[in-house]
Structure 1
């Protein structure tokens, strides 16, 4: 009974983590910066620039949002392409891990003998670990890029800072 409980809890936690990664890929506000409003009222003239892995958007003070989808794979900046690739690789590995773990759990009646189920469970665990390393690497790559832009002493033309500590 204890072995089944551990397997079910592990399966639920790892599957929930996979769902969270899937949801984070669809989130809109990966980066956001406020434009305008300096030296005056933030209400009268302010705009927001925000982006995610799939598009860049601009929302003005009248709440009109204009978005530009990233057109083709090779026109996206390399770090965004790397983040997309790492997260998709992690999701693919996680999907196979969920299937293998489901088949290998003791409480399911499919998957074969006990020895075969143990091998399936071990393979699923390895896939989960590899997928989670890929996901964490993708998030770290993205955060590193945003942090370098944010804390750089000078930034090039056309590069937006995502926080302003110089007031």
Structure 2
């Protein structure tokens, strides 16, 4: 009776940590998606938040924090799953299926490490709270394609403006 109850508890424990690992991975995917969107909006080259570079910097910082949280959730999930696999593998009394550490866990560790490194780099690069850069970049109007010829000054076309754009070349 005791062995049967112990097997039921082990299977219940296994089911609980598998469900918790799934929940952590789903949370990591959601945070990674929102982190990617926040990072894309927070880039200086995007037109999503206009010319307000302070707002863009804060949005990119939020994206970096979301990447850090994604990496932490992935690292916790993968490490917890690997710990349980090794405990069951080396337990001589465990009668269920014994799994080994496979490629999926190594890929999970690498992706968690990359997400943590990328999130920390993005968060540090944003420098939230810096006082020297509160003014956005000055507006520079486009030149509208006034390109002068590089011909010799004695040539008549040397001082006449050309009406071709900056990228009108072959």
**Structure whose CA Rg is larger:** 2
Structure with greater strand percent? 1
Query: TM-score scaled by structure 1?
Result: 0.49
Structure with greater helix percent? 2
Query: TM-score scaled by structure 2?
Result: 0.48
